[in-house]
Amino acid sequence: MSSPQTQCPVCSRPAGQDTLRPLVGVEDSIKELLRTNARAWKPGAQVCTDCLNWLTEIQKSLPARFPQFASQDLKILPTPIRLSAPDPLRGRGITIAFLDSGFFAHPDLTGPTNRILKYVNLVGQTGAIDLVKPDVSAWHGMMTSVVAAGNGLLSGGLYRGIASEANLVLIKVGSASRIRHEDITLGLRWIIRNRKRYNIRIANVSCGGDYEASYLSDPLCQAAESATKAGLVVVAAAGNAGNRDYHPVLPPASAPSVITVGGLDDKNTLEFSDNEMYRSSYGPTIDGLQKPDLIAPSIWVAAPILPGTQTAEQAALLSDLNNAKDAELGELIRLHQGVDSDLDKATVLDPYLIRQLVRIKIHDNNVISGYYKHVDGTSFSAPIVSSIVAQMLEANPDLKPHEVKLALAATAVRLMNADPSKQGWGVVNPTAAVQAVSGAGKQPEAKTA
């Protein structure tokens, strides 16, 4: 007689009784992560073999599989692991459009297959050559796009985004010194006009307008509302002014239909109980709308370093020094004279003092490796949510924008020690959100923790 079929409470895939296993040897911190990210799982319940292997990998195998992770003094958790995003879904067939100050064709987006479908410069005359210039304006957009959709090529797959197989359209709407209200508007209108040509389903806006305005009359908010009506899911960063007296949520994040994302500080751990709010901007808006709608990690986020810059040279040297033998330290510094003036002077020091200096510089410069550093800001919370939306649309391509927003809101997990007005519905919950839109069409119910 065949084994009765049931579902794994974590991934919801059919699993026979002979493929379900108890969580033996799994630490409490992992179970806490599971409890908050897989609402169908209850303490004592069994999980399928695939999910058990995944949990075991997080706990034990991650350092062994990725030596560079094991060697880090501060082990920055990859975004898919810290949020336990469903691994089989990686945004395949979905295009995310990014509006930002500029972009760079980073290897995590272009190798081994180039997933950048289109680059547009709406504020200048230059073309695709922008994508290979290590210009300061390229930093921000490069980071936001890779945080969402990078495949982690330069880290052996370790620091990939949740939507690591999604396609991208990159739209330059400003520079490192200025992004104008009206240029973001132009960017959203360009996306609306070209959405079908590039199968754009998501618009990520990690920049904000110049001033507060009512969505009833503001052209930028109106463009965001039009994008939603056209079938696009618009995701915008709330801003980082939450620790100030004046903390407005600016357009387009203040528009009603936009999924506005604030920040979470998860302490770079798998525990849920120690999570706190980041300094996100929050409402009410001029129109009395409470924003943000959700929160997602906005600190300790792995992001790429712009190749060809002094920062990249310094990070590579620091990474090499951190992994070098004592006898190699002085020669390494001499071979890279001029990269870091403090290191240039350190060749006369004992090895233990050089190592101390290297560790201080790695810490102060947020260096993870020669290719990545950890960053903060709601600019990175937004693309994380955009990448989760890509998973949801891959699981159910027929979803409409309001259905995506409902599922994200209804499955989010609120922080009980944080002001509800600052966190919206709570921490984004990828597994539950995907399950909510992949099921039999039942409306999800709001959750708290």
Angle at which helix 378-395 crosses helix 430-438, to 10 degrees, equals 30
Report domain extents, the chain: 95-303+374-438, 306-370
390 — pLDDT class (breaks 50, 70, 90): very high
Q: Over pLDDT 90: what percentage of the chain?
A: 74
The tokens 């510094």 sit on which residue?
Answer: 333
pLDDT in tens, 159-213: 999 999 999 999 999 999 999 999 999 999 999 999 999 999 999 999 999 999 9
Of 157, 164, 191, give the one whose Cα is nearest residue 91.
164
pLDDT at 273: 79
Of 399, 395, 400, 398, give the one whose Cα is nearest residue 430.
395
- Which residues have CB under 8 Å from 314's CB, separation 6+? 339, 340, 361, 365
pLDDT in tens, 25-59: 777 777 776 776 666 788 888 888 878 877 777 77
pLDDT at 61: 66
Average pLDDT, the chain: 91
447 — pLDDT class (breaks 50, 70, 90): very low
Q: Is the dihedral of CA 417, 422, 424, 428 positive or negative?
A: negative
Instruction: Please state the pTM of the whole predicted model.
Output: 0.90
Are 238 and 260 within 8 A, CB to CB? yes
Are 147 and 79 within 8 A, CB to CB? yes
pLDDT at 194: 98
User: What architecture does CATH give domain 95-303+374-438?
Assistant: 3-Layer(aba) Sandwich (3.40)
Does residue 446 have a pLDDT over 70? no
Of 303, 305, 324, give the one whose Cα is nearest residue 313.
305
Three-class secondary structure assignment of 163-225: CCCCEEEEEECECCCCECHHHHHHHHHHHHHHHHHHCEEEEEECCCCCCCCCCCCCHHHHHHH
Separation of alpha carbons 370 and 107, rounded Å: 14
Does residue 5 have a pLDDT over 70? no
pLDDT at 56: 75
